[in-house]
Amino acid sequence: MGCFPTGRFGSGGESLTPAANYRLLAQDSLGEAHTSNHLGDAYLALGQDTSAIGAYRVGLRLGDEVSDRDVQLRALDGLLTIYFDRNELDTAKTFLDRRIALTLNQPDPDRQTAITLRWLGDYYAASGNQDSAQDAYQRGLALSRTLAIKSLEAEFSNRLLRV
């Protein structure tokens, strides 16, 4: 049995499990983090939320250990997707706070900063705080315009119409 047995992540990700085992045995933490996030994506696509959560948490932990912001953000986005879909806002807030810490205090706001503002607006909207949701979406819209990211600009505009 490998280091990532089917029981740990559930069924459905068997083709990625050997890659995760190889990365673990090779002591390639960054590669293992990427593979774990891929597993999370596969499980999420298959509707296996519990397995996806486990995989994303491994990706998040390893991303933190190797100080890779992008790996952490990808894992956080997977976890946020699941917990928002489940309407588990308290748990989502825990992961949103980690995303905020990685993005909102950066000297040069980037695409990830805008995505955090989108998640933040979504959190406020789901929590019934429409004024804070609107503020987060407006900040995200302004940033996406500054960064010339048309797809995010459209998302923020659409969200503003709904709050």
Residue whose token pair is 């932990």? 61
Helix (H, G, I), strand (E, B) or coil at 144: helix
Q: Are 91 and 125 in contact (CB under 8 A)?
A: no
Element (H, E) at 154: helix 150-162
Going by the DSSP 8-state scheme, the letter that residue 114 receives in this structure is H
Q: How far are the Cα atoms of 30, 101, 129, 143 from residue 148, in angstroms, in the given order?
A: 31, 24, 28, 8
- Residue 24, pLDDT score: 56
State the Cα–Cα distance between residues 141 and 4, nearest whole angstrom. 41
Where is average pLDDT lowest: 17-21, 88-92, 97-101, 138-142?
A: 17-21
Residue with more model confidence, 50 or 20: 50
Q: Average pLDDT over the chain, rounded to whole?
A: 89
Please state the pTM of the whole predicted model. Answer: 0.84
Angle at 61 between CA 102 and CA 14, to 5 degrees: 125
Q: Are 35 and 56 in contact (CB under 8 A)?
A: no
CATH number of 1-87: 1.25.40
What is the pLDDT confidence band of residue 135, given thresholds at 50, 70 and 90? very high
Mean pLDDT of 119-147: 98
Residue whose token pair is 């000297």? 107
Give the rounded distance of the alpha carbon of 97 from its chain centre: 12
- Domain locations in the chain as residue ranges: 1-87, 104-163
| Cα dihedral: 33, 39, 41, 47 (round 10) | -150
